[in-house]
Structure 1
């Protein structure tokens, strides 16, 4: 007689970062950070509409400085300050307005109950604003991608309803093959700010409000590009499988995970996560300037005034430093973004942080780039080369959570 099968044990993949702790802190912080959401949206809309395009090839200013927190300024101050920015300062300001995901290095607990998931379209991430009869899209570095008429509210001269100055702001990815703006989030609709609304509510509004307009219709003279909402799922086993393996009208570039309770927070946040493998993305491991996968992992870091090399996180993570002699000899300046190669044998993971020994200077990245790599990206890229977080790990995490819930239900019934 065959022995009875062993009972399934809860799955737990060893954590390699402090990502879960930061998720908990981020949820606590957002409830205490309820600034004037309407003012923030109005300032962003004004800046998107009026700020000149920063030249992509402009050299970084010698006297780069940290900007003050936006909530300390009036709407007029923020909009006026942004409109005066040029070059690298403008690129940095606009890049700070988009909510950027951390890279998933640990599977979050409670994926099925607390998270949404969807397939990320491949393309250019941008903010789209419609107001005063015109629609403008700007990519992450602030450059204008398109200026066009659209069927969004007040997005064309033909479609002005209510106050002409009323504005809408969408977080989109422009997918070149089908010339479509895929909406992944909504910041403002007809002047109503959604900054302090949960992701669950914002996703509901994307789908409901888009159907109130003709923005999803094929292009026409007064509607140059089509807008489409991405299919969003609850991160159950079925939802994860649909996002991972299901068909989409666009080329996939990984999966995006949104915590249902997350507000729209400008900058990098652990409440949104990006994950990818070879099945759902063409580009898992970063390539070099020639489009080839280098033998060693590359990191883009920012040079600080004291010579330290840091990530784009807040607060930044220090990966190393350069001495003054090398900085002067290489004609480097504070604020420069620099590319380094990382020797695998020098990497250590300590208390959720990635520590590198020897960094080899490779050169400067594209000048249009606004920020250094984040710490979570460095961790994800290292894991992708050695011990990647796989789709099976995400499935096992959901199954384990389901088992825990079933066990709790049984105990309550007893």
Structure 2
């Protein structure tokens, strides 16, 4: 690798075929073979997400402001932190979880989401086994209601809002005061232009864990349970933010049309595909797939800090103890090794887990049997300090394909069709 900028020269590329379907099959097999005790996990998450013991919402909001300021100071103090040991998270008790701060809190929270792979290949049985929804643009967050308060947390662990809501135990009611076992956890996107929380998934409802329920069941509960409360009503004194359900459609031609270019009250940022059999898996999973194109997203190709598409694809990789750089997948995919001269010059600054930014040069990626074997990467600098993790391999492949030979809506439609068109789609 050299520290230069390599610009593409119009090399002809074929559409990449990955091993995504193989990973999908393995993921389904694993979840059918083993189940985790996630009730304790959910209580631990709630305990950490709502660090409040106040007797009123106003005191709770003051407590959150103090907590946010403390988090900011911790973040500054953690600028040169030692990588948080993931095994330590498994030993965190509920009491200890409420005391997590700074980098440990952020590391813990970024592991609480089901994160989609990017759709590199169209999965088998797309029409039979998948749902599709329009993905709202905005800030992904966990919304937790417990002990008379509702708190939203971003992927980096920072508190976004503390507010009263109509979610169970989300405001100071008699139920919230008398029952500490009633809590809810929702996976949402906060759409700032209209200050609405769009619900894309549900993990707990009134203390009942849905982590090990398939998506089809969770989708049913999202619709039925939220409609029973006043949480979908417009904001009021006791309900500061409105929640709305993002419709999930059967992935047939009509459903794909609605998700892709149907009328939505938010800015669309691609389409999210969810396997109907998928549990809520923590971490990156091929049972959820993200796809974008120019018509469904302003940012289907990654941009720089000024919103411009760079001449070369930029990727973020994690520096490893063996001097290689890799993606954040499990297992990690190694894409290169840092040169010895670079290591000598930067030895005092390098540490395992450090995120580094690279560009992909003229030679691109070489993929064999669905996996990359070589990559023409060129060092660009240290990644943004606020970034939570390196890129996944599926994102690297998707972004590379989007620049050279993209997976189009026509490819997805062709996978759905099993006979002649029964009606015309107007894309």
Pairwise same-fold verdict (TM > 0.5): yes
Residue pairs, 1:320-331, within 5 angstroms:
320-323=336-339, 325-327=341-343, 329-330=345-346, 331=349
3-state SS of 1:253 partner: strand
Answering whether residue 332 of structure 2 is matched by residue 316 of structure 1, we say: yes
Decide which of 371, 379, 390 is 1:353's aligned counterpart.
371
What's the TM-score once normalised by structure 2's chain length? 0.85
Change over 3 Å in CA distance of 1:393–1:57 after alignment to 2: farther
Answer whether contact 1:133 1:164 (CA < 8 A) is retained. no
1:334-393: CA deviation from partner (whole Å, max 9, x where unpaired): 211111111032421122123444422212232221110000000000000011000000
Match of 1:269 among 260, 285, 291: 285
Is the Cα–Cα contact under 8 Å of residues 150 and 162 in structure 2 kept in the other structure? yes
2:162 corresponding residue in structure 1: 147
Please, which of 400, 407, 412 is the counterpart of residue 394 of structure 1? 412
Aligned: 1:289 with 2:305: yes
CA contact (8 A) 2:15 2:405 kept: no
> Is 1:170 aligned to residue 186 of structure 2?
yes
Residues in 2 aligned to 1:103 and 1:154: alpha-carbon distance in whole angstroms: 36
Q: Residue 290 of structure 1 aligns to a residue in which SS?
A: coil
Asked if 2 retains the 8 angstrom alpha-carbon contact of 1:62 and 1:334, the reply is no
Alignment of 1:64-79 (within 5 A): 64-68=83-87, 73=91, 77-79=92-94
Of 282-291 and 101-110, deviating more is: 282-291
1:210 aligns with 2:226: yes
Q: Which moved more, 1:133-142 or 1:339-348?
A: 339-348
C-alpha contact (below 8 Å) 2:18/2:369 kept by paired residues: yes
Instruction: Give distance in 2, aligned partners of 1:26 and 1:69.
Output: 25
Whether 1:102 and 2:117 are equivalent positions in the alignment is yes
Of 250, 263, 274, 1:234 maps to 250
Partner of 2:389: 371
Q: 2: CA distance between counterparts of 1:344 and 1:33?
A: 44
Q: CA deviation at 1:325?
A: 4.5
Q: Deviations over 1:191-218 (max 9, x none)?
A: 0000000000001000100011110111
Tell me the alpha carbon deviations over residues 291-330 of structure 1, each in whole angstroms, 9 at most, x when there is no partner.
Answer: 2111111110111122111111111111112245424523
Question: 1:151–1:159: 8 Å Cα contact kept in structure 2?
Answer: no
Structure 2 SS opposite 1:117: strand
Alpha-carbon distance in structure 1 between the residues aligned to 2:96 and 2:232: 35
Among candidates 345, 348, 361, match of residue 343 of structure 1: 361
Structure 1 residue ranges without an equivalent (≥5): 1-12, 404-414
Helix, strand or coil at the partner of 2:185: strand
Match in the other structure for 1:411: none
The 8 Å contact of residues 359 and 380 in structure 2, kept in 1 or not, is answered as yes
3-state SS of 2:417 partner: helix
- Secondary structure of 1:280 counterpart: coil
Alignment of 1:83-98 (within 5 A): 83-98=98-113
- 1:185-224 alignment to 2 at 5 Å? 185-224=201-240
Q: Displacement of 1:34 after TM fit? A: 0.7
Q: What secondary structure, in the 3-state scheme, does the structure 2 residue paired with 1:44 have?
A: helix
Of the structure 1 ranges 218-227 and 159-168, higher mean CA displacement relative to structure 2 is found in: 159-168
Q: Specify the alignment match of 1:17 in structure 2.
A: 18
- Partner residue in 1 for 2:274: 258
After superposition, give the CA deviation of every residue in 1:10-40 in whole Å (9 maximum; x if it has no partner).
xxx9761000011010001012221112112
Per-residue CA distance 1:157-202 (angstroms, 9 max, x = gap): 1473561442100000000111000000000000000000000000
Question: Residue 400 of structure 2 is aligned with which of 379, 382, 386?
Answer: 382
CA distance in 1 between counterparts of 2:305 and 2:76 reads 16
Q: 2:351 aligns with which of 308, 333, 338?
A: 333
Query: Which one is further off, 327-336 or 344-353?
Result: 327-336
Give aligned pairs, total.
386
Measure the CA separation in 1 of the matches of 2:174 and 2:360. 53
- Comparing 42-51 with 131-140, greater Cα deviation is found at 42-51
Does structure 1 conserve the Cα–Cα contact (< 8 Å) formed by 2:42 and 2:209? yes
| Shift, 1:83, TM fit | 3.8
How high is the TM-score relative to the length of structure 1? 0.88
Point out 4+ residue stretches in structure 1 off by more than 6 angstroms.
none
* Partner residue in 2 for 1:3: none
